[in-house]
Structure 1
């Protein structure tokens, strides 16, 4: 499904961001997706980091550029600037810490303030391997996602559960929207060209008639 070669030529470059409170597992989700790695000693992200991964969807090679943003409040001014130009986002909370779920709407407001209006957002409830410590029911995550018009998935970076699926859902949806926009742009361009073509023909016909009339008059 994917090719990790950075040098491979791609048809599209999609920028996406990982956002959410500190210590919800954003960095491990990204390292699991990009390198199939999990770090038990993962430290908080300072500012912003990013990774690439090439994904094949239909007959297109898509280079996904995923930015991992810091969850701490003191980095918010830095990280919010990275929302611009992002076509997608994984908004992550920790199912074992209700406070991280309660903050989802705050992150969503920030994303909608600084990001694109048609950005694809997947709400991710991470650490579902810790079901015995669960504080947020899966149904709550689904209901919130549905009310806000988001995609939803629970994941475990530790057990590599649904990590690939969450990223691919986002990338696939971005590709779908991008393809539709390209198709609409081409359709509009064709219509414009046809309209312009008609105008040119019309003008040429009038000009040609005038020239013939003038020639006759001067004979």
Structure 2
């Protein structure tokens, strides 16, 4: 029988950020969220790496252990099981300039989450449209824009919160993480990794 975690104690939530590698800007988002710095081309990490940041949600400090996941990570079942079965929630990130990044969330990542995740974490999803460009830049590439009305409709149909962010302009960067932590916390967080 699983025990409910006492929320008065330190909470550590394992969050997995999922996206299609460079086309959705996961590394830039993570660097801005954890360090407050923006880099359009952050250095690649070798091996499995995660970041930690403590945030305050509804007057409670919650430590987030954040694992970036990309298309190259699903190469072994050990890695996949570690991330999916140990996760408490997922941040689904796509790039506003890449229809491919959104299509991969629907056609690959959502299938992986449904197949390999625990029942608790499947309920804790947040969809993020990442735009690291200035308005002048993305207006010159209209063919690459993902229709945000379609993505919002999809998120609404699944009861998934949706956020548009811009790490370069420091717009809405913290909100998806706070919302995801709140979803986990409000479900009377069960330590689902044991």
1:19 deviates by 0.7
Corresponding residue number in structure 2 for 1:112: 114
1:77 deviates by 2.8
Instruction: Please list, as runs of the form range in 1=range in 2, the aligned pairs for 1:49-60 lying within 5 A after superposition.
Output: 49-60=49-60
For the pair shown, the structure with the greater C-alpha radius of gyration is: 1
Corresponding residue number in structure 2 for 1:193: none
Alpha-carbon distance in 1 for matches of 2:68, 2:94: 14
Instruction: Please list, as runs of the form range in 1=range in 2, the aligned pairs for 1:136-155 lying within 5 A after superposition.
Output: 136-155=146-165
Work out whether residues 167 and 173 of structure 2, in 8 Å CA contact, stay in contact via their aligned partners in 1. Answer: yes
Counterpart secondary structure, 1:178 = coil
Of structures 1 and 2, the one with the larger relative CO (CA 8 A, separation 6+) is 2
Corresponding residue number in structure 1 for 2:125: 121
Counterpart secondary structure, 1:48 = coil
Task: Give the TM-score normalised by structure 1.
Answer: 0.70
1:47 deviates by 4.3
Q: Structure 1: give runs of 5+ residues left out of the alignment.
A: 1-8, 183-219
Alpha-carbon distance in 1 for matches of 2:125, 2:161: 6
Task: Give the TM-score normalised by structure 2.
Answer: 0.79
1:175 deviates by 1.0
The structure carrying a bigger helix percent of its residues is 1
Q: Structure 2: give runs of 5+ residues left out of the alignment.
A: 1-7
1:129 deviates by 3.7
1:140 deviates by 1.4
Instruction: Please say which of residues 88-97 and 57-66 is displaced more in the overlay.
Output: 57-66
Counterpart secondary structure, 1:92 = strand
Alpha-carbon distance in 2 for matches of 1:128, 1:56: 25
- Alpha-carbon RMSD across the aligned residues, in angstroms, is 2.3
1:45 deviates by 4.7
CA deviation map 1:86-121 (0-9, x unaligned): 111111111101111111112111012111223211
In the TM superposition, structure 1's runs of 4+ consecutive aligned residues that sit over 6 Å from their partners are none
Counterpart secondary structure, 2:188 = helix
Aligned residues, how many?
171
Alpha-carbon distance in 2 for matches of 1:61, 1:94: 30
